[in-house]
Amino acid sequence: MASVGQQGVAGVSHVFPLGSRLGEAGRLEIGGCDAIELAERFGTPAYVYAEDDIRARARAYMEAFRARADHFEIVYASKAFPCTAAYRLLVEEGLSCDVASGGELYLALKGGFPPERIYLHGNNKSEDELSQALEAGERMAPGQRVLLRVTPGISPSTHDYISTGQVDSKFGFVVDDVPRAVDRIRNLDLVGLHAHLGSQIFDLSPLEKLAEVLSSMGEYPLLNLGGGLGIAYTADDRPPSIEDYAETLLRSAPEGVTVLCEPGRSLVGNAGVTLYRVGTVKRIPGVRTYVAVDGGMSDNIRPMLYGARYEAEIADRFGGEVLCTIAGKHCESGDILVRDVLLDDPRPGDVLVIPATGAYGYAMASNYNGITRPPVIFCSGGEAREVVRRETYEDLTLRDV
């Protein structure tokens, strides 16, 4: 499974879901389903996932850790895609689940994760969220099993907004404060330590001694080494393999300790694409060609939040020589999904696809400008099913009193 995430089919970049291909008519197929037919059936924008891609990556993680550790647990960082259909799929693959709020806990339970395979963490949990977690697990303090979050002072090479292991972080206890924090824990069962360096990591070297740093703070049965493995958002991106990531993460892990790993983006990011319909094409000679689509920052805020870069293609005309900027429909000049991408003569009515949107698109979607959130479509073996319906205008007023 070393090539999971880096397999391309002729004409289709490795940023697209595994198994994606161009059919005989040159039309993109995701999970065996024609992208243009999906757009016509379910409308646009739409989040489309290749179900088999998610399963393949989950199995790759399980196999990589099984080959290198006697005791381990792969914990889905569900903030990346907190959808009950994804929870159901991943619990079937033997994963556990990480939740960061009462809402994610509710969704994970609805998705079929048993309480004993759910981890709740993050800073500043409310009393209500803690009570909710305790009630779901049918356990009450004293005796509640807990992990202590440590800020190891290791800074990965990634965007500042998604870096969490440096000393200046809102998460966890810095190394010098860990003994005092451990001493303050009363009537709870401290079973391990937890650290997370950040997200979208390509350089694995900061991870090499993470287990060693945590192990130096005492002997515990569990070490949660976080997640953060990066994915390919553009054809030039070559993230490390899951196997290399596991090898690096486990290199310093003590024998007999159960090691936890928390992949999120690397499980679902490349499994999903977003389909849009082109509305207008605005050509400014000598300046820029704007291709405006029927979505934007309400369904993918990452380009505006992090400066995230994506690719884009016309679903039935891959390639091209027209330099374009993909603009959203929102009332913001900064509502730009992709800058400077080559397309094949884009026209109103075209179905445009942006790959590698499987993580944090759905999770961060909003109703800005009163735009309804897109549906989620799972595709496998040529069959498509709607797992989250499109919002309606009526949904926008459901909470009004």
* Model confidence at 307: pLDDT above 70: yes
Average pLDDT taken over every residue of the chain = 91
Instruction: Return the amino acid letter for 49.
Output: Y
More reliable by pLDDT, 3 or 316: 316
Can you tell me the distance from the alpha carbon of 146 to that of 304, in angstroms, rounded to the nearest whole number?
Answer: 36
d(CA 234, CA 357): 11
CA angle 388, 13, 33 (to 5 degrees): 40
Average the pLDDT over 101-108 and give the result.
95
What Cα–Cα distance (Å) separates residue 323 from each residue in 190, 290, 341, 345?
56, 9, 5, 9
Region 349-375: what's the mean pLDDT? Answer: 98
At residue 138 the predicted structure's pLDDT band, cuts being 50, 70 and 90, is low
Residue predicted with more confidence, 151 or 274: 274
Q: CATH 3.20.20.10 spans which residues of the chain?
A: 52-266
- Hunting for tokens 């490390």 — which residue is that? 240
CATH code at 52-266: 3.20.20.10
Q: Is the pLDDT of residue 274 over 90?
A: yes
Please tell me the distance from the alpha carbon of residue 144 to that of residue 128, in angstroms, as a whole number. 16
Q: Which of 134-143, 224-233, 340-349 has the lowest mean pLDDT?
A: 134-143
The residue assigned the tokens 């997640």 is 227
Q: Is the separation of the CB atoms in 300 and 47 below 8 Å?
A: no
Cβ atoms < 10 Å from Cβ of 128: 9
331 catalytic? Reply is yes
How long a stretch of residues is the chain?
Answer: 401
Residue 271's nearest CA partner among 57, 76, 98 is 57
Give 158's pLDDT tier (boundaries 50, 70, 90). very low
Cα angle 158, 159, 161 (rounded to 5 degrees) comes to: 130
Residue 44: is its pLDDT beyond 70? yes
For position 4, what pLDDT does the model report? 57
Cβ-contact 278, 293 below 8 angstroms = yes
Stated pTM of the model: 0.91
The C-alpha atoms of residue 128 and residue 131 are separated, in whole angstroms, by 5
CATH 2.40.37.10 domain position(s) in the chain: 21-50+269-397
Tell me if 324 sits within 8 A of 317, measured CB to CB.
no
Residue type, 107: L
Contact 76, 107 (CB under 8 A): no
Give pLDDT, residue 142: 54
- Tell me the angle at which helices 51-66 and 242-250 cross, rounded to the nearest 10 degrees: 30
Q: What is the dihedral of CA 345, 346, 349, 355, to 10 degrees?
A: 130
> In the structure encoding, which two tokens stand for residue 279, read together?
């509305």
Torsion of CA 87, 90, 95, 96, to 10 degrees: 0
Catalytic residue of the set 83, 97, 324, 331: 331
The C-alpha atoms of residue 67 and residue 149 are separated, in whole angstroms, by: 27
For strand 118-120 and strand 222-224, is the pairing parallel, antiparallel, or unpaired?
unpaired
Is a pLDDT exceeding 70 seen at residue 215?
A: yes
Q: What is the CATH number of domain 21-50+269-397?
A: 2.40.37.10
Q: What is the mean pLDDT of residues 70-83?
A: 97
Cα-based distances in Å from 319 to 277, 344, 345, 384:
18, 6, 10, 26
Query: What pLDDT is recorded for position 165?
Result: 46
| Residue 381 neighbours by CB distance under 10 Å | 11
pLDDT band at 1 (very low <50, low <70, confident <90, very high): very low
Closest CA to 253 of 195, 307, 297: 195
Average pLDDT over residues 178-191: 85
Residue 150 DSSP class: E
pLDDT confidence of residue 143: 62
User: What local confidence, expressed as pLDDT, does residue 3 receive?
Assistant: 44
Report how far residue 336's alpha carbon sits from residue 324's, in angstroms, rounded to the nearest whole number: 11
